[in-house]
Structure 1
Amino acid sequence: MIDVAVLPLFLLASLLICLAPGTDMAYMLAVGIGGGRAAALRASAGVALGVLVYSVAVAAGTGALVRAFPWTLNLLRLVGFGYLAWLAVQSFLDARRGAAFGAAARDGAWFRQGLVVNLTNPKMALFFLAFLPQFLGSAGSSAAQFILLGLCFMVIGYVVDTAVGLLAGTLQRRLAQNSSSARLLSVLAGIVYACLAAVVAWELVTALAER
């Protein structure tokens, strides 16, 4: 029913992909810098849930839907841009008020933020649609195989994202005691969010220009 022979190569490929600098890693740096280690733990869990959602979506045959309605990816880009831009503005406003961004978002807010950021990342959708089918192997059930692969990728991504967020959170913990340093941390987080928003905006403009 499930082909486990492809797992060693899949796990290695997944680890290399997760270790490569990208949107998730930049986002976790921003979270750790802006909210600290507790925020990083919650946000990485939200990102991991987003990975699982995409795995289930691929298993359910969402690829055919995306191919039939390619504008859905542009819609994801638009929502992702708006959300990242909002996070950037909030960070800059917190810096102006002299408060760390983490003071304004606690408990479930960081988890929801990580989930939304990941779900509105069209690169994640495209990645899963292109990457997971390469490791279908001789599985009797493609749905079960995709979910298994997605779970494996989720665990690896969670470990890497959490490590990055905790390292950034350690820096935040050391510097946030000083008010000027706290402002700087909020500014840095805002810059990362703004850069991510700019990347998504550029991808949206490019995609629309190619139509």
Structure 2
Amino acid sequence: MIDVSVLPVFLLASLLICVAPGTDMAYMLAVGIAGGRGAALRASTGVALGVLVYSVVVAAGMGELVRQYPWTLTAIRVVGALYLIWLSVSAFLDARRGTTVAAGPGTTRWFRQGLVVNLTNPKMALFFLAFLPRFLGSAASSVAQFIVLGLCFMLIGFIVDTTVGLLASTLQRRLSDKPSAGRALSIVAGTVYLGLAGVVVWELATG
């Protein structure tokens, strides 16, 4: 039903893509620094769910619709840039108020952010539309193949993102008991979000 012969190359390629610096990694660094361990775990789960959504969308044949209407990728870029700017503004406001952004036990804020950041990441959309179909192999069912590949990529991405977020959270734990540390961490996170938004805007202007 599926072609497993392509998995070794796909898994290696997926690992290289996930460990390469990009939007998701920079976002996880910002989350770990600003929100700590709990925020990193929630955000990486949201990012992973976004990968699963893309897998299902491509398996359902939506990729052809995007190819026919390329403006949809531009729309994704615009929404992504606006969302990152909003995250940046929110972080700077937290810094100004001196409020903490660490995740509490029932907080879903970071999960939602991770999901939206990934869904509005144009590079993720291009990956699933252009890269994933190369690994169909001789699968009898393209839908099943896409789902399996998507789940593999999701697992690798989740491990990498969680690791990055948890490593970044060590800085948050070390500084959490120091005066004005929360404000400084929020400024760092806001700067990262703003930088990511700038990259997306630059790609829009030059693409």
**Shared topology, TM-score over 0.5?**
yes
In the alignment, is the contact (CA less than 8 A) between 1:39 and 1:106 conserved in 2?
no
TM superposition score normalised by structure 1: 0.94
Q: Distance in 1 between matches of 2:165 and 2:14?
A: 19
Give the whole-Å Cα distance in 2 for the aligned partners of 1:166 and 1:60: 34
Q: Percent identity?
A: 73
Residues 28-80 of structure 1: per-residue CA shift (max 9 Å, x gap): 00000111010000000000000010011111111111111111111111111
Q: Deviations over 1:164-211 (max 9, x none)?
A: 00011111011122132221111100000000011111122223xxxx
**TM-score, structure 2 length as denominator?**
0.96
Is the aligned partner of 1:55 residue 2:55?
yes
Aligned equivalents of 2:202, 2:104: Cα separation in 1: 29
Partner of 1:139: 139
2:29·2:164 contact (CA, 8 Å) conserved in 1?
Answer: yes
1:112 matched to which residue of 2?
Answer: 112
Cα distance, 1:101 vs structure 2: 2.8
Alpha-carbon distance in structure 2 between the residues aligned to 1:103 and 1:95? 16
Contact 2:51 2:150 in 1 (8 A): yes
Structure 2 unaligned blocks of 5 or more: none
Q: How does 1:86-125 map to 2 (within 5 A)?
A: 86-102=86-102, 107-125=107-125
**Deviation at residue 104 of structure 1 after TM alignment:** 9.1
**Structure 1 match to 2:157:** 157
Contact 1:98–1:179, Cα closer than 8 Å, also in 2: no
Rounded Cα–Cα distance in structure 2 between residues aligned with 1:7 and 1:124: 19
- Deviation, 1:102, is 2.8
Instruction: Map residues 156-195 of structure 1 onto 2, 5 A cutoff.
Output: 156-195=156-195
